[in-house]
Chain A
Amino acid sequence: MFSKGLQTRATARWVDWGIIAVMAVIGVFMLMPFLWLFSMSFRPVADAYKMPPSFIPPTLDFTNYRAVLASDVPFLRIYWNSVQIAVLVTVGQLVTCTLAAFAFARLSFPGRDSLFFVMLIGLMFPAQVTIIPIYLGYAQTGLLNQPLGLALMYLTSSFGVFLVRQFMRSQPKALEEAALMDGAGYFKIFWRISLPQLRPALSALGIITFTQTWNYYFQARVLLEPQDAMTLPVAMDMLRGFMGQGNLSMVMAAMSMAVLPVILIFLVAQKLVIEGVTMSGIKH
């Protein structure tokens, strides 16, 4: 009996390792497109379509990167648009969402719960149902083709308000009540007591917002037409057309630069990214 138990446990261990080995192979396959992307970006243009494809960069030659920056496509300008939009939207959401979340979680005022409900309804609507009026409105106010116009429409989000509010509700109220007794104003309480405790929620929201904004395509494609107003995901599609067949290596060098910020964030804050994106499951 005892020895049989040991034996099954030993078999189970082998099965475990077998499964992990199979998963490791699948994992390597999952990474293939990324390996190929970076490897291609270091390949001489002439070798771009040489088969078999290399998944490990043959050299570390930055010629293609320099070529992208020197090309007719205003790559740096486009990059700067993406950075501006992502940073503005991230900062904007951190401010507006935490302020609103504080009010919804901590203050009582007439209509609070109905207003919160109205904001939550926003989670149901896809971008496709808001894009036409926003386009028409932007066309009339001159916001069309302005990178900052795209940022403007994302300065708040129902998801962000909801996320921060959930965090706030789980915090003890005692400190705030004590501060109120001492005569502190609500903004002071928010700034000095609530905010410092919210650091995990804020980093999660910040990371989700930054990566999402960096990746926006649908809205950016509709609202930002000329080359130097574009953001990276949209421009990449155009770059592909420009640099075309022979210059695959150059397109991949541009792509590598475009995905770099998100990959860096992921490598540095892996756990936080996964928690954050998992939480964002509520909204696409």
Chain B
Amino acid sequence: MTTIAANRPSELRRAQARAGYLFILPSFVLYLTFVLAPVIVTFLLSFTYYDAIDGASFVGLDNFVRFLTDERSLQIFWNTLRFTFFAVTFNVGVGLALAMALNRAMPAFLLYFFRLAFFLPVIIAAAFVSIVWGYFYGDDLGVINYYLIRLGFAPVRWLTSSSTAMMSIIIMDVWKNTGFFMIIFIAALQGVPKNIMDAAVMDGANWWRRFSRIILPFISPVIFFNIVYASIGAMQVYESIVILTQGGPGDSTRSMSILIVEEAFGSFEIGYAASVSVVLTLVILVITSLQLIASRRWVSY
């Protein structure tokens, strides 16, 4: 076998192709079954009315029309966009500020401490941290209100008032995720050429000028990456909200992911739920491409 393969290039090529297909087979079959095929099925289901007894019947764009004309689903859509906007802005903004502050020489134990403090929330499940924060946010027995009162402030109804609940979820989200963006920014800041910074200092450029003229343009691709990445995650927000407020009070914090689960597995409106997932996926794709287009204008690669 081996001598033949060595003598005949076409046989060698065929053997290589065979090996290639065999090597990708397990991965590819699983991928087709659990990603690609379901995506296609969801897309098809979104044009149907589907129930367990009669099966699916084609209804055209009805589900999408329903989504766009239903006040409740529009409210939920708006909640999701609002959450995404604020969560992304603060996560990326605070992450950058923290990274700027930590981007300096320091003893190893401090580095260890900062990594621990800012990164631990990132790797712990949102489900777990939401339960802890749920107790922090309690009206009467909550830790935060206890200290607010002690300091002479009025207690806040963090999760039980529709005007503050979304904000409370965003605060927790920033606490949980900003460390991720901080770490990526630190890596980017370490790549800013030192000789250019030194030259700017020599020329008497102040902090703001160095930041806006050298650092910002240099790290703009990373800012762009962080914004895209944060938006994709925030659009899918689910467990933080389900655990903290179950989507309430009213619908004030309900997100599209919650709507999908409720419609599909609560009311068994499978077709409608599928169309909501298609809308969510499309919005994620649109945000990603808008940011790609926008980035051509201001990202200097």
Select which of B21, B261, B274 is within 8 A of A222 by beta carbon.
Answer: B261
Q: How large is the interface on B (under 10, 10 to 19, 20 to 34, 35 or more residues)?
A: 35 or more
- Known interface pairs A119-B31, A133-B42. Does A281 touch B229 (Cβ–Cβ under 8 Å)? yes
Q: Is A268 an interface residue (CB 8 A)?
A: no
Select which of A19, A132, A156 is within 8 A of B277 by beta carbon.
Answer: A132
Q: Shortest CB–CB separation between residue B259 and chain A, in angstroms?
A: 10
Residues of A with Cβ closer than 8 Å to B?
A: 16, 19-20, 22-24, 26-28, 30-31, 33-34, 36-37, 49, 51-53, 95-97, 99-100, 102-104, 107-110, 112, 115, 118-119, 121-122, 124-137, 152-156, 158, 161, 181, 183, 185-187, 190, 211, 214-218, 221-222, 233-234, 236-237, 240, 248, 251-252, 255, 258-259, 262-263, 266-267, 270, 273-274, 277-278, 281, 284
Interface-side segment among B71-79, B159-167, B209-217, B234-242? B234-242
Instruction: Determine whether the beta carbon of B117 is less than 8 Å from that of A27.
Output: yes
B187: A residues at CB distance < 8 A: 278
- Known interface pairs A128-B281, A218-B239. Does A135 touch B264 (Cβ–Cβ under 8 Å)? yes
A100: B residues at CB distance < 8 A: 23-24, 26-28
Instruction: Determine whether the beta carbon of A33 is less than 8 Å from that of B129.
Output: yes
Main secondary structure of the interface of A (DSSP, over half): helix
Instruction: Determine whether the beta carbon of A102 is less than 8 Å from that of B23.
Output: yes
Task: Name which of B13, B121, B132, B274 has the most chain A CB atoms within 10 A of its CB.
Answer: B132
Q: Which A residue sits closest to B1, measured CB to CB? A: A183
Q: Which A residue sits closest to B100, measured CB to CB? A: A19
Bound-state Cα–Cα, A5 to B184, Å: 33
- Known interface pairs A128-B257, A211-B123. Does A103 touch B20 (Cβ–Cβ under 8 Å)? yes
Q: Is B292 an interface residue (CB 8 A)?
A: no
Instruction: Determine whether the beta carbon of B116 is less than 8 Å from that of A270.
Output: yes
Task: Name which of B104, B112, B146, B288 has the most chain A CB atoms within 10 A of its CB.
Answer: B104
Instruction: Determine whether the beta carbon of B119 is less than 8 Å from that of A108.
Output: no
Q: Shortest CB–CB separation between residue B140 and chain A, in angstroms?
A: 9
